[in-house]
Each structure stands twice: as structure tokens, then as C-alpha cells.
Structure 1
Amino acid sequence: MADLSSTCEDHLESHRSVSAEETTVQTLLPQDVLCDSCMDSPSKALKSCLTCLVSYCETHLRPHLENTKFQNHRLVDPLHDIDCQTCEVHRLPFERFCLMDECCVCMDCESHEHKGHTTASLGEAHAQMETELQRKHKEISQSTTAAEKAIEKLQSNNDSIKSLVQDVCVTVGQQFACLHTALEEARKGVVEVLEGEQKQALTQAENIQVHLEQRRSELMKSLTQINKLSRSKTDVEFLQGYSEWKKEKTDVCIPPVHINSTDHLTSYIHVVTDSTQELCDLILSCYKEKLSMLCKRGTKSLMVDSQPSALPDQETREDFLKYSRSLTFDPDTAHHFLRITEDNRKLTNTSPWQHSYSDKPNRFEYWRQAMTSESVYMGRHYIEAELSGEGAHVGVSYRSIDRKGEHNSSCITGYDFSWCVGRNSRGFSAWNAGVETDCKVTDITRVGLYIDFHRGCVSFYNTTGPMRLLHTYTADFTEPLYVTVWLSKKDNMVYLLNAKC
């Protein structure tokens, strides 16, 4: 204690020499601790006493330095919340740290409430916790760096995707231009065939017409001669003329004209129409099938690289709690009939009362749903939720679920990339892509959601009593999942629990 008094006196002497050079008016800063004994004008505290729980300026600190009755008092640098440095129960300064309960204790605490616990001095505990904090700081820094690198990798990948898509679009344009050229050539080919048919038919008709016109001229000539004979004045003239005309042996037969049927020309319409439909069906089905297969292979390549965990399967609730996540609802997603309370963990349907939420692109407008602010991605995750009311549903969904649509695919029971459980008039069921699976249970108030990304499964458990598996879905997860809730009826409620509590 003598060393502490000597140190304080040296500090006080140094402070006096500095004060002598300063102006009489002391300038106080917002962060300065004030003396609790100065009544007329505030002064800056020089020390705080953990025994008195009071801070003192230079003048009022003198009794603690000069009077032997204050030698057992512990002086420290000025503290703003000096009460926080003492035990609320025993009103004694904290002198030890309980490593078992991880809290500061006074001497009476160590002798009674924390008797038998492993404790350490505040300095030792500080050093130990500082080491642990530095280690954690290093881990977090490394994780932050890894996240930044992953983000840079994703952004670089996005740029590559955009560039590649542009290149592919150019190639696609070229290929469809080739397809268009082929179609144009096919069209020209069909037109040429039709024009050939037309030319052949017209030439044939023209030649027959020339022949018929010649026969008509000959017959007209014969008619003229006959008419002339009919006008003969004497019998001799008539008979001589008739004999001459008869020698010419006029052919009065006209060759029959066969008009080709045009029905075969209309058959071109059926041939071209049928062939075109077959080609269109073939093209569309070929593109759709091959592109679909390619898309299924391509989506997995966008996932962040990570190795599957070799951890054992879970058996008890305590095993699941190792992966528990504490999530909160995002107010910007909540439907106007839904109210979020209790630190954004509780969601209630207040129909018909609406809440004056601002318009947000992420807000659900038709289905009375809300989504969490936090997502889960990669690894294993466990979330517990309380459900109340017929119509309360909870599950996980991709962020891309439609927020404005009225169709069933905008609800977590109908969306292809959402998996949920909930209660309706038929009982308690699991849902995915509009398909309902009866869980064959009724009395459920608490459910557990377990997601294992690497195995591609999301499982739902009844945790109202002993843990019991309700249903498991398997899927190739390619995006982070968000806990999503649908409350279809008034007073429905879902509360996201802090599972570790």
C-alpha cells in the first residue's frame, strides 16, 4: 500500500506542476470523469476509489493519500460507472473472476455463492480472456478475409458470366441466323418447285391451245368452202365444187382436251404445313431438353467451394443445438396484416388490422408471409420455432420467391424451392411445390428445422416433447435459405426461439 501511496503522490506532484502552468479555468472534455465532491464548480477527477465508490479531484483526493485511515482503500484511474466495478449484493469491489460462471466476484461471492469454483485474479483473468479474445479476433479476421475473397471470387465470376453470356448470345445469334438462312433456302426451294409446276402446266396448256387454234382455222376454212358451195348458181358448179372439196378429206375430229386436276397443287400446303410443324416441334423439344440438362449441371458449379463435414449424425436435441441459429424477421418483408414484436422474433397475424409499413420491393403483398433477415448457407443449421393456430406454417425458402404474385407458387406451400410444415383443417402436414404430405400428428406447438446443405436435406422435428422426426426433404440446394413463415388466419403466431436458451 505504501508503494501505491508513493505512486499517487508522485502522480499528484506531477499533476500540480502541470496545473500551475495552466489557466485557473479548467477545461473539461466530454470524456472526463468529474469529481463527486466538488459542489460549486465541477472539476476533473484524478482518481476513483473502489471502496468509497466515489471519484475525487486533486484537492479531495488528499485525505486518501495522507490519512492512514484510507490506506486500505483501492484507488484506480477515474471511472465513469464506478458502481459497475462493485458487487451489487455485497457492495464490495470485484477482486476475482469465476472461470466457471464467467463473471466477476467479490471476496464474499467467492466464499459463498461461488465457493468451490475455480477463480483467478482480475489481472490473470484479463490476461487469459485477452489471449482468448485475440485468438477469436484472429479467427474472425481470417473468416472475414475468407469472406471478402469469396465475395471477390463471386463478383469476378459474375463478370465472367456476363461476358460469357454475351459471347454465347453472339454465337446463338449466329446459329439462329444460319437456321433462318436454311429456312429461307427451304422456302425458296418450295417456291421453285411450285414455279416449275406452274411453268410446266402453263407450257403444256399453251402448246395445246396453239394446236386447237390451228384446227379451228382449218375448220373455219372448211366452213367457208361449204358456205360457198351452198351459194352455187348451177348444179354443175355445185357438183364440181363439191367434188373438189371432198378430195381434201377434211378432218372434223377435235382431240379431247384433258385439264389436269389442281388438287395435287393444294397438297403442297399440307406437305409444307406438316413438315414445318414437325420441324418446329423437333427444334423446340431439342433445345428445351438439351438446355434443361445443361442448366441442371451448370447451377451446381456456382456453389461456393466447401468440403462436406465429417461430423457424426445427430441423435439427441443437444446434438442439434450445436448447430442452432438465432434468427430474426425482416420487417421489410412482412405483409401488412403481420405484426413483428419481441426483438423481431415474434410474428402475429392481426387481420383485419393492417400496419402502415412502407412500400418495399421485398414485402409480400398477397400471401401473408414474412422472411428472416439472416440466411443459412453451407454446413449444418438448426432453428426452433413455436407455432400457434390453424394456418401457421414455417419453413425455408430461396430468397427469389415471388413477393407480389397471387398464384400458389408465391406461397411457401406451393413454391418449388421452399420446404415447410404447418397446420390446416386436415391436420399437420409438410409441403413442397404444392404437394402435401400428412405428418400423422396433431398436437404440435414447437418444431425444429434442421438443414444439412452438403447432404441436401431439410428435416422437420416435433420438439413439443421428445424429439421426433416429422418429415425430411432432399434437394440440391444451390442458394442460401431463409426461414419463411405463412400465417393464413387471424391470431396465427410463429415465434423464432433462441434454441440454446
Structure 2
Amino acid sequence: MAEARIPVRMNRLCCSICSQVLGNPVTVPCGHNFCMRCIQDRWDREERSRSPCSCPECGDRFPRRPLLIENTTLADLVRDTPALKRARTGSKTGSPLCGRHSISLDVYCCTDEKVICQECASSEHTGHTFGFVSRERRRNQEELKNIQMKSQQILQKHEKKQKNLKKALERIQEEARNTEDHCEAVLAGVIDAIQRHFLSLKKVIGAQGEATAARVQTSLQTLEVRMNEMRERSAELERLAQTDDDVHFLERWPSVRRLHEEDHPHPLGGASEDPLRPFELTKRAVDKLGRQLEVFCDTEFATISRTADSGESGGETGRETEEDGMQQRCEASTSQSHGVNITVTEQTVEPKTRADFLQYACGLSLDPTTAHQDLAIRAGDKEVRNDKSSTMFHPERFLHRRQVLCREGLQAERCYYEVEVKGDKAEIALAYRGMDRKSRSSLSAFGGNAYSWSLDRSRNYSVSHRGESVQLTTPPSQHRIGIYLEFKKGALSFYEVSGSMKFLYKVEAKFTEALYPGFWLGEKCCIRICDLRHDRL
């Protein structure tokens, strides 16, 4: 065998201070060995008592605190001796024994990679390389750690790949939502094109509903009368069927039979008509009109833009006439939601006065399907209040925050709108349509994520984005707020509006998709979208 047994008594490998097997043995100048922690603690106490450092074994005193030297040979001897002792007492401690010699399996044959006893090593493994089981375990333990490390690295790569795949899946789902929202925005643009006619259309629909409901109500009343008559005749039939008088039965039967036959050939007038058909026809007509108006607006604005870019003009008067006509067509359509710039002249001049800003006014309406259940939408979808009596529910609403979005997505070169705020706390925001609406975290809060920008109005103003806020020193002094968006330029500015425009803050960012105006309302708060059509005239 390459290694012999080590005939060492365990008491010689014990520390005289703690009486335990030496742990991290060190040698002092007199040659005695102790646990490093034991001798350090001993000398620390002696120094605190201002006594010279001494050897606990022989009592030698040292003029200065000696430098401890680790005894590596003794440390190896200590490890091997307890290991050998455990191997020899394997039968007592429950370690496995050799099936042939009934002694501990304390030898490892490195040649055959097999655990054996000492007798097997002497008789059957001559010339082989041997080692103690405990030492070979430590050596192979290092290899095991390397394998574990490599396995962990591979697992981390797989986890990273899994994370990337999950992100890709999230991007796919997000893109699907964005695509759906984009389609919805296009259809919302058609509604915007006839926004001024919407109130009159609502009256028409209301009249349709009242007329249809009146017809149905009349049919219902007639039906109830006939049902009562039939119940009376059924009761008479029952009484006739129960009579024991044959003569009475035969006398009554002809008249009762005729009355019963008269109930069936006369169904209710108009019963086969669909009472909802007028509404369906109205929706179809509006859909057709919307498509026609959208095509017309796209064609006209494309022609106007090409004409303006080429500089073709019939003189100053002709240009003014053309611009007036264009302005009238612009007022009949909110083409901003399609990215069309409706201003032909002075496109590079920055607006300064309120009249300048009103050139870019856009029509907005609140989207009730996005409103939190505590918010009530009123005044033709132009006003929102914090009204906890509301019972509204829709799967697209904000679930945990009192927020609401507008229907219209803004991505024209320039857009401007104003809102009136009543209450102490409110947020005026613009957000991407796909912003999270279900989370309790900042992902659903205006200004708390990468998908929204918010002007927060309380005792002072602040502007928030990605959860970071810029505190403004300006306290609110007006209830009307102006919002000016330059989509292509990537600029968003906020103003207080009175007779003049008071600048509050300007955000610079790269907008990648249409921005939807939105609002958060504090307690007892009300926000109204201002109608700027009359102010623009």
C-alpha cells in the first residue's frame, strides 16, 4: 500500500486548552501546539490583564506576543487520524463492512476505483494505488464542485434563454394588443370626423328608441289583454269539462268552441318584425358614411399637402381662399389622429399666444370603457367626476386606479387641447394605448412607467415619467390647463391658461406610437375637456 496506518493516540492530537482535537493547529516558540483560536483568546486575556504572553503547556513566558505559525503537517495528521479512527470503528458507528473480512471499508483503490478493506488491499490489489476513503472523498469532492459549477453555468444559460423567450412572448402579446389598439384608433378616427353631429345623431337614435319602444309597449299591452281573455276562456273550458249536466254541456259547447277557435287565427300585428332592426340599419348607415368620409378626408388632405409643398398658388387671394376652404374641411374632421398636419402656413413658427395654439386645437372625448369604476362620465363624454356611486364595469377599464383615457390617439405634427380642473389633486397625462390597466403597481399609474407622461397638480406642479418626478416651484393659480403636443418633434408642453399662456414645463421624448390623453382624479375632483371650436373662430 502507498500509505501506512498512522499509530497516533488521539490524546496527543488534542489542545491542552480546550481538550478537543486540534482545530487549525499552530506552533508557539517553545514548540507546543494549540488551536489557533484557543491560544489567541488566551493571549488576548493576558494582554488585557497586562501579563506577558506565556505557553499554557510549559509556562514559558515571551517578552513580546509571538507570531503564530500554522502547522500544516500536524493539521494533515489530525485529519487523517480521526478518519482512520472512524474507519476502524465502522462497525460500531454503522459504516459498511467488507463482506468477506467483516472489517471496515476504509481503503480506496484508485486503480480499480473501488472501496475495499485493508485485507482485500493486501491480498487482491497488489501494486495498485491506494488512498484513505476520507481523503479520496475530499479529492473527488473538489471535482464534484467543478461539475456542479459547470452544471450551474449551463442552468443559468438556460434560465437566461428562458427569460429571453418569455420576453419575446410578452413582446408578441404586447404587439398583438398594440395592433388591436391601432385598429381601434383608426375606427375611432371615423367617429371623430363626425363629432359635431354626434349629439343630433343621439337625438335621432333616441327618437328611434322611443318609437320602437312605443310600438313594442302597445303590442305588449294588447298581448296582455288577449292573454287575460284566454285565461278566462280556459277557466270556462275547465268548468265546462267538469260539469255533470250533459244538457248544459251540449248547449254551451258550440259557443265555447267558436270562441276558442277565434283565438288562434289572429296573431298580433307586427309580431314577426324585429324591433331592433331600425338600430341595425342606423349602425350600418353610419358605418358606410364613416368609411366614405374617411376616404374623402384622406384624399383631400393628401392633395392639399402636395399642393402646399409644390408652392403652386394663384396669387395671394387664391392662396387665402384655398386656405379658408382647407380650414373648413379641417373643422369637419379630426385628421390629427391619422398623422396629417392640417396647418399649411407658418409651420415653422412656434405658437406664443393662445390664438396661435388654438390653430392646432383637436377634438377629444372620454372613453367610458377605460374608466375606473369610481369615475362617472357625463356631458357627452366631455366630463369625468370622482363618483363612487358609479357601478360601471368594462374589461378594458383601469382596475385599481381612478384613471380614464380618451378615445382619440394623437400623432399629428401638432396638437393642442385644454381641460378645466376642479379639485385639489389631479393628473393630466398622455399614454400609449397598450399601457397596463390591471396592475396594482406603478405599471398602471400615469407617469409611473415608460408608457406615459403626467403633469401632477396638487399644492405644486410636478411632471412624472418612468416613476421619476421633476418638482416645479409653481403653485396652481388657474383651473384651465393647456397641453401642446409636437409628436414628430418629440415635445410635450404644459401651460396654465387665462388671458395669456403661462408656461409650466416642457418634456422632450421620442414618441413611438399614438398618445392618448388621460386623467387621474383625486377626491371630489372633476375634469372637463374644453370645447375650443368657438374660441378658435
TM interval, short-chain normalised: 0.3 to 0.5
Taking structure 2 as the reference length, what is the TM-score of the superposition? 0.42
Structure-1-length-normalised TM-score = 0.44
Larger C-alpha radius of gyration, 1 or 2? 1
